[in-house]
Amino acid sequence: MVCHAERPVSGIFAAFRTDAPMDGGTWIAADARVDDRQTLAAALGVPHESALSDEELILHAYMKWDVRCVEHLIGDFAFAIWDGRARRLFCARDHFGIKPLYYAHRAPWLLAGRSVDALREHPAISDALDDVAVADFLLFGHKTDPAATTFRDIRRVPPAHTLTWSRDGGCRLHRYWEFPIDEPVYRKDADYAAELRQLLDLAVADRVRGERAGVFFSGGLDSTAVAATARRHAASSSIRGFCFLHESLLADEERRYATVAAAHLGIECRFYEMDSAGWSHAGRERTPEPLVPSIDASAQARCLDDAADHSRIALTGEGADNALLYEWASYVRYLLCGGRIGRLAVDCAEFVRHSRRVPLAAVLTYPRSRLANDGAQPVIPSWISPDLVDRLHLEERWRDVMRPAASPHQTRPAAYFSLQLPLWQDLFDSWDPSYTGVALDVRHPFLDLRVLRFLLSVPVIPWCREKYLLRYAFAADLPPQVRRRPKTPLPGSPEHAKIARDGLPPVMRSPRLGAYAESAYLRALPTSTSMQAEAALRLVTFSRWLAGLESMRVAAATD
């Protein structure tokens, strides 16, 4: 029996008493998109063009390969399979954790699902908070433990993990995949470009499947390449861009570049200014867990509603910045240590041929003081409860989290490390319907395993400098202004600029807030630096979320 949990209705995949008689059937509940269906179907011996849903393909894979079925899957997925033959629950989450999957084991109950709120509705689950997870949010804006949630009773299945329960073995987590580390691959220039175009084409095709799609669009290289690729799979009217702006807060050129790129591709692009006066629902009190808010929640909501009206699918360019970091020093060290001076000379010659400049000249002649990290050293905000600081050893925790990254990748250590950071989970949460309230499935073609593995195998010189590989591979799809556009992050923190202009929203007091913040500091939180402003906004966000949680508890108690 196949039980498909419709997205994103109740969010519960499985809920049962572990001490009760077990169902003898086999069923699946899932939120899943399986990519490269043709290869999987061939391995299963079923026609890839058959009417089997993605959930049914996963169940067929499980019936053939048992728990090793995940080794044959790519895509975005979270699922639970009850195996009545083995009296076993088997759950799995995709490689990067794009789809959420939570569980709670409160004897005798075992719950699994895609929504924290859905699990919290069960009477066995308390609303006790995980103090470490709360402290992580207040300090860093995200949880550093990929298995943690804000609630003590609820855990998250980490990316690339399975969860198995049986009466004899209990609950067990298992990592089924590690990001592979490949040696650099050397080939002709045209071959690099052709393979990237082919792989991104496959990634977009798997995510769009001939449907209409929106693209979160900035007029930068990444989103324009995604939009151009999507455009090849549908009529221009089927692809629409959606662009966020911060024009009254910061020097923001997104409108100009997005307009040029959209005109070049022949698609419509709509703009949403994220800088209206005041704070519209800035606290996002009703999200399942506290999440760093948009500075203009009403504009964001309009954009998401418009995107969902256009299509149930939206694409982003997330992942390309990480995969194409210009780590020239690690790459040069790798070649020199291997005695591959000839290879380095060839790469430098390629750099000169493509860019008409001497490789590394700007870096080698840069003042050493500018190469050092001249940013302010992080400190524990003064308003955090001293008891919390001492009890959880937060100063030591901060030093541990902020330590230099350790990475086993010799040529791309920072890229490899950055693609596995826990903060990705908060990004994926911020797009998830359980947080936005909008039935929009946001998908990320550059985070396709096939695309990422290729991007991390290209030689750093010349292809990663200013993401040159994208400029070269998509030269025909990018207007000259975008192709020549340097990487241009916003010139400052939108949150800091917003607070400087409109002030900070007030902290909402509630009985449990005192365990995390000193009440004496709450009337005048420091916001003079961007770091202080962003930390203060996290406290405001948490206070409003916590006040909402308390009001729900009071309402439930009076029912």
Beta carbons of 475 and 507 less than 8 angstroms apart: no
Q: How far is Cα 310 from Cα 213, in angstroms, rounded to an integer?
A: 7
Per-residue pLDDT, 1:
28
Per-domain boundaries in the chain: 12-175, 189-324+411-494, 340-371, 376-406+506-559
For the record, the structure tokens of 239 come out as 């692809």
Q: How far is Cα 316 from Cα 328, in angstroms, rounded to an integer?
A: 27
Per-residue pLDDT, 443:
98
At residue 384, the 3 state secondary structure works out as: strand
- Residue 7 exposed, middle or buried by CB count within 10 Å (0-12, 13-18, 19+): middle
For the record, the structure tokens of 33 come out as 């998109």
Per-residue pLDDT, 368:
39
- Give which of 513, 463, 547 is closest to 287, Cα–Cα: 547
> 12-175 — its CATH code?
3.60.20.10
Residue 337 CA neighbour count, 13 Å, CB half: 8
Q: How far is Cα 249 from Cα 451, in angstroms, rounded to an integer?
A: 35
Q: How far is Cα 398 from Cα 140, in angstroms, rounded to an integer?
A: 9
Q: How far is Cα 149 from Cα 161, in angstroms, rounded to an integer?
A: 16
Question: DSSP E strands: which ranges in 167-283?
Answer: 170-175, 213-216, 239-245, 268-273
Q: How far is Cα 383 from Cα 389, in angstroms, rounded to an integer?
A: 11
Out of 3.40.50.720, 2.60.120.260, 3.40.50.620, 3.30.420.140, which CATH number does the structure's domain 189-324+411-494 have?
Answer: 3.40.50.620
Q: How far is Cα 382 from Cα 161, in angstroms, rounded to an integer?
A: 38
User: CB count, 10 Å around CB of 330?
Assistant: 18
Per-residue pLDDT, 364:
44
Q: Is the dihedral of CA 253, 258, 261, 263 positive or negative?
A: negative
Q: How far is Cα 62 from Cα 126, in angstroms, rounded to an integer?
A: 33
Q: How far is Cα 234 from Cα 228, in angstroms, rounded to an integer?
A: 10
Full pLDDT tens readout for the chain, 559 residues: 233 333 333 678 888 777 677 667 899 999 999 999 999 999 999 886 678 999 999 999 999 999 999 999 999 999 999 999 899 999 999 999 999 999 999 988 999 999 999 999 999 999 999 999 999 999 999 999 999 999 999 999 999 999 999 988 899 999 999 999 999 999 999 999 999 999 999 999 999 998 999 999 988 999 999 999 999 887 767 999 999 998 888 888 899 999 999 999 999 999 999 877 677 654 455 899 999 878 888 899 999 999 999 999 999 999 999 999 999 999 999 999 999 999 999 988 988 888 766 555 444 434 333 333 434 455 899 999 999 999 999 999 998 888 887 899 999 999 999 999 999 999 999 999 999 999 999 999 999 999 999 999 999 999 999 999 999 999 999 999 999 988 777 778 888 989 999 899 999 999 999 999 999 888 889 999 999 999 999 999 999 999 999 887 766 666 5
For the record, the structure tokens of 98 come out as 């794009």
Per-residue pLDDT, 236:
66
Per-residue pLDDT, 23:
66
Whole-structure pTM value: 0.92
Amino acid at 187: R
Amino acid at 121: E
Per-residue pLDDT, 294:
83
User: For residue 512, what are the CA distances in angstroms to 505, 519, 546?
Assistant: 19, 11, 8
For the record, the structure tokens of 472 come out as 């070269």
